[in-house]
Structure 1
Amino acid sequence: MLYNYTSKEKMKRKFRKSFIYKLYFKLKNWRQNVSKIKYILLIYFLVVSFSSILLWTPWTQNTSFEFNGKVETIERISYVGALFTTSSAFSDTGLVVVDTFKQWNMFGQAIIAVLILLGGIGIFTIKIFIINWVLRKRSTSLSEINLVNTERGGIKINQTAQLVITSVKFLLACIILFGFILTFYFYYVEPSTTKGMEAFLDGNFISPYKNWSMSFRFGFFHVISAINNAGFDIVGSNSLMPYYLNYGLQIIFIILLVIGGLGFPVLYDVHNYIVHKITRKKTKYHFSLFTKMSSVCYIFVLIFVFLISFTFEITASGHESLWNVIYIPKDGTLNTLEKTNPLLKDYMANGDMYGSNFDKTFAIMFSSFSTRSAGFSTIDMWNLTPASIAIYLIAMFIGAAPSSTGGGIRTTTFAIIFMSIINRIVGKPKVVAFKRTINLETVKMSFQVTLISVTLLIIILLITISSLDIHGGIINSSYSLDEYLGMRNYGIEHLMFEVSSAFGTTGLSTGLTKELNTTSQIAILLLMFIGQFGVSSTLLVWGKKKNYFNRYDYIEDDLVIG
């Protein structure tokens, strides 16, 4: 006897034979078998792809922009440019190929802010936070916990949910608190800079002074960008240079940069320490090894970078130094003597472009903080000495702490390598830090990550060299024979600075990123993701679940090395 299917059952049978159901079943099966890292990268890819299409559409872009009484026509950005901006925002880097304040309307800037927040805190981290704190569900699956551990790293599995809730609550509280603080600051305080800088900027920035709606937008956009160490700004074409003498604003930014750069485990540790003190427990609180290592290394690198940069800048005698730059406007023609040119004489009389010695020292200090994966600048990086450029790119290569909003090889990796070399010199067989022995595999992995990172940076550097004019690009190189008056020349050190900035997801630039060709932009784009996701995690993407290499070993032999 034949069974008569109902219309509903017939629809189900028909749907199960359809392409959509088969595709869904395959994706579900793939999700169950794929590694966590590949799954996270797929989600990241989908988010970036969708967001880049949104930024590419006319809905998010300005067609014209008016400031200082002038109306400027804005060309629509290419898809590669939109993809680059999306990747830079999601990886919390800050390198841009267009001016954020001009190119994007409020909707576009809002998308960039959301991308910065998602990339900085983490998509799966936010998911855990919503499930556990917003929806008040006490249970979290092991799969979701493992995804967060893979995304952020450095989190103990038994602390994941509580650590995420505590850290994200603290970050959101900081965003709200400092968002309103900056709103009031931008409303009541005018941008302040030197006479030379004022001429250099030439009004190419926006001031939200005495404008509540713009101050509110400026306040919260920059708080999100700063606490996530993103480096994006909507002030102008030269980052925070219009606020060069606004030390209060810069101190607020420094606080936000440090909070975002230390990492979730450190924030959780500090929270527990404060609770321990408030409850007045008699036992002594012990910070984790991660907190001690990352914090000490963060401070050590910061002080070292500041002292080296300060020393080289103050002792430099040439014009290529922050200490000696005097900005001369283009209308103060150089073919006339200072004595016969009143305009040029006026600028010479007003002193250096970067103001007093205190102003310059504070600028170097802010820049040193900014190299810790932040990306905001109050100076033109092109004015730094080659030595400062070198030490800054090393600092950006090291990056911020693991489980933070920054990139690079991470502070703990650098600390392990540094201690390993010192221990080798003094004859100690193992790496010991704060009365704890570091696992040998961790030490090996630190050296491998650093070596692979250096190799990767060299490869990307070679690709970006194609953007120089001597290789068909539009960037005027320092080796070009056509050195016109007023035209900047760039060398390998400037390209390396951009590459290191991308890898450390820092966002500091000497002005080259906008001039890179498409191939170089795509290479930088990939490097930003590797820097944010981590070299070790990126390597694991290509790994197989089954390892056939440990089934047998060859006979050991020795080899002479250097």
Structure 2
Amino acid sequence: MQFFKRIFKWSPPRILAAGFALIILCGSVLLSLPFASSNGSFTPYIDALFTATTSTCVTGLVTVDTGSHWSVAGQVIILILIQLGGLGFMTMATLFALVLRKRILLRERLILQEALNQNSMEGIVRLIRKVITYALTIELAGAVLFAVRWSFDMPIGKAIYFGLFHAVSFFNNAGIDLFGQFGVPFISLTGYADDPLVNIVTMLLIILGGIGFIVIADVMDYRSTKRLSLHSKVVLSTTAALIVVGTLVVFIFEFSNTKTLGSLHWGGKILASFFQSVTTRTAGANTVDLASLRQATQFFMVILMFIGASPGSTGGGIKTTTFTVLAVAVLSMIRGKEDIVLFRFRLAQERINKALTITMLSLTLVIIVTMILTTTEDQAFIKILFETTSAFATVGLTLGITPELTTIGKTLIILMMFVGRLGPLTLAYALRPRQERALFRYPEGKITIG
């Protein structure tokens, strides 16, 4: 009883970290059992743990092919973990509480505020209702469109199942797919590189899942409010700019590469370039062989993955707002301006400090894990950097080394996915000891910079 009282007193970041860890552990135990595998045998626990983590953290990196290794029961467990991880376990718990007409207490509202990365608790339950409604509506629409398209390629029952699984997976930016059961493992969507419907629906699901529920709610309310918040303006403009720049870079560097875009017609080249730019923002699906991309393209994709999606979304990375705030801060410093201004709004110094802290923590983590993996894995540096960044940003793209990782490598990638889903700053808050209020301040000092 004392243990549960102690848990109840935990800070919201610590409860979030413990909640995700508990879901992963439960999922890993279930996935390791014989009923979860297609051949009815036990799955090595490290692979079950890896799969449970990549599903709950909506990453998409897999050590065993999802379509061929797991039974239908195992795939359903993965699907549930993706939904829980994408929307957040507190969001799902709130859904059940609302259905049962239970009151959402102050403690629960604080945790929801932390989970959705909100600045205040005002309207948090109303936002949760919108999150659930928008998510289920978008996933259902995607499932129907996928099912209609794939009914031409497979029996209608399987097409419906595939439509539902992939709509949930892509909207939650997990990128886990089932196409490996058709004979070629880890194939993703490479068989649909020039299919307009599959590409467009997938990209829309990824973008909607990646811009965040706050922005979706803001856009949906625009008809009545006639205005967008500063957050929504920054997210939408940055997302659009990164997608366009990413598309141009992939198109230019891979245009003549016969192993990627070179063999496609003009429409296919543009579509594939667009898709790779969108999916790099934490989605995990791909329509071309990423291992065959030129190293310049692979490195640029590492940068896009590191930036990631937007706050309050199903994606990872340092987030688009963090990137924009730092970029504008640098430009303001170069121009000699004291204030950091975005869309005629001045940003508080606290926002700049938080953006800098998140970026430095994230960069340090990626560098350290990459250095360790270069000693434990017999792989090229660019592949290890790509894998590490993909895990941290919960992207799920790989250059083909995930199944070949050693036990140490798998463990490190599992930790990276977990940290990436929670966010390094949230995890740091969860692990830090209780802070005591400082009773004094040190005198200001001067140090030469630059």
Interval of TM-score (by shorter of Structure 1 and Structure 2):
over 0.9
The answer to whether the aligner puts 1:506 opposite 2:395 as a matched pair is yes
Is the Cα contact below 8 Å between 1:466 and 1:520 reproduced in 2?
Answer: no
**Shift of the alpha carbon at 1:155?**
5.6
Is the Cα contact below 8 Å between 1:230 and 1:374 reproduced in 2?
Answer: yes
The answer to whether the aligner puts 1:427 opposite 2:403 as a matched pair is no
Alignment of 1:451-490 (within 5 A): 451-469=360-378, 477=379
Match of 1:162, SS? Answer: helix
Is the Cα contact below 8 Å between 1:467 and 1:515 reproduced in 2?
Answer: no
TM-score between both structures, scaled by the size of structure 1: 0.76
Match of 1:128 among 64, 89, 94: 94
* Distance in structure 1 (CA, Å) of the matches to 2:97 and 2:259: 56
User: Alpha-carbon deviations, 1:143-167, whole Å to 9, x = none?
Assistant: 1111111112136411111111012
Tell me the number of residue pairs that the alignment of Structure 1 and Structure 2 aligns: 445
TM-score between both structures, scaled by the size of structure 2: 0.95
Matched to 1:304, the amino acid is V
Matched to 1:244, the amino acid is A
Match of 1:400 in 2: 309
Match of 2:144 among 180, 185, 201: 180
Match of 1:301 among 229, 242, 253: 242
* Distance in structure 1 (CA, Å) of the matches to 2:30 and 2:263: 40
The answer to whether the aligner puts 1:533 opposite 2:442 as a matched pair is no
The answer to whether the aligner puts 1:151 opposite 2:39 as a matched pair is no
Q: Which piece of structure 1 moves more, 393-402 or 526-535?
A: 526-535
Match of 1:230 in 2: 174
Q: CA RMSD in A?
A: 1.7
* Distance in structure 1 (CA, Å) of the matches to 2:69 and 2:259: 31
Match of 2:48 in 1: 82
* Deviation beyond 6 Å, 4+ runs, structure 1: none
Match of 1:243 in 2: 192
Structure having the larger proportion of residues in helix: 2
Match of 1:93 among 39, 59, 81: 59
* Distance in structure 1 (CA, Å) of the matches to 2:448 and 2:402: 43
User: Alpha-carbon deviations, 1:499-555, whole Å to 9, x = none?
Assistant: 11111111111101111111111111111111111121111112233325x323333
**Shift of the alpha carbon at 1:43?**
1.8
The answer to whether the aligner puts 1:213 opposite 2:162 as a matched pair is no
Is the Cα contact below 8 Å between 1:382 and 1:510 reproduced in 2?
Answer: yes
Matched to 2:143, the amino acid is G
User: Alpha-carbon deviations, 1:325-354, whole Å to 9, x = none?
Assistant: 259xxxxxxxxxxxxxxxxxxxxxxxx863
Aligned in 2, Cα 1:365/1:326: closer, same or farther, shift over 3 Å? closer
**Shift of the alpha carbon at 1:311?**
2.2
Match of 1:37 in 2: 13
Match of 2:258 among 325, 338, 352: 325
* Distance in structure 2 (CA, Å) of the matches to 1:289 and 1:442: 13
* Distance in structure 2 (CA, Å) of the matches to 1:82 and 1:288: 42
Matched to 1:187, the amino acid is S
The answer to whether the aligner puts 1:270 opposite 2:219 as a matched pair is yes
**Shift of the alpha carbon at 1:26?**
1.3
Match of 1:376 in 2: 285
* Distance in structure 1 (CA, Å) of the matches to 2:129 and 2:162: 27
Is the Cα contact below 8 Å between 1:91 and 1:528 reproduced in 2?
Answer: yes
Q: Which piece of structure 1 moves more, 166-175 or 459-468?
A: 459-468
Is the Cα contact below 8 Å between 2:362 and 2:424 reproduced in 1?
Answer: yes
* Distance in structure 1 (CA, Å) of the matches to 2:382 and 2:441: 44
Match of 1:335 in 2: none
* Distance in structure 2 (CA, Å) of the matches to 1:559 and 1:125: 46
Match of 2:263 in 1: 354
* Distance in structure 1 (CA, Å) of the matches to 2:377 and 2:9: 45
Is the Cα contact below 8 Å between 1:309 and 1:387 reproduced in 2?
Answer: no
The answer to whether the aligner puts 1:385 opposite 2:318 as a matched pair is no
Match of 2:151, SS? Answer: helix
* Distance in structure 1 (CA, Å) of the matches to 2:141 and 2:237: 27
Aligned in 2, Cα 1:326/1:85: closer, same or farther, shift over 3 Å? closer
Match of 2:76 in 1: 110
Matched to 2:83, the amino acid is L
Q: Which piece of structure 1 moves more, 459-468 or 263-272?
A: 459-468
The answer to whether the aligner puts 1:285 opposite 2:229 as a matched pair is no
* Distance in structure 2 (CA, Å) of the matches to 1:361 and 1:305: 12
Matched to 1:114, the amino acid is I
Unaligned runs of 5+ in 1: 1-24, 65-74, 191-208, 277-283, 315-322, 328-351, 470-476, 478-490
The answer to whether the aligner puts 1:411 opposite 2:355 as a matched pair is no
Match of 1:343 in 2: none
Is the Cα contact below 8 Å between 2:199 and 2:271 reproduced in 1?
Answer: no
Match of 1:167 in 2: 131
Matched to 1:96, the amino acid is V
* Distance in structure 1 (CA, Å) of the matches to 2:292 and 2:352: 38
Matched to 1:30, the amino acid is R
Match of 1:363 among 249, 254, 272: 272
Aligned in 2, Cα 1:313/1:244: closer, same or farther, shift over 3 Å? closer
* Distance in structure 2 (CA, Å) of the matches to 1:105 and 1:174: 26
The answer to whether the aligner puts 1:557 opposite 2:430 as a matched pair is no
**Shift of the alpha carbon at 1:361?**
2.5
Match of 1:140 in 2: 104
* Distance in structure 1 (CA, Å) of the matches to 2:307 and 2:448: 30
* Distance in structure 1 (CA, Å) of the matches to 2:395 and 2:413: 12
Matched to 2:45, the amino acid is Y
**Identity value in percent:** 31
User: Alpha-carbon deviations, 1:478-512, whole Å to 9, x = none?
Assistant: xxxxxxxxxxxxx2111111111111111111101
Matched to 2:110, the amino acid is N
User: Alpha-carbon deviations, 1:243-293, whole Å to 9, x = none?
Assistant: 22212111010111111011111111122124x1xxxxxxx6221111111
Unaligned runs of 5+ in 2: 181-185
Is the Cα contact below 8 Å between 1:155 and 1:265 reproduced in 2?
Answer: no
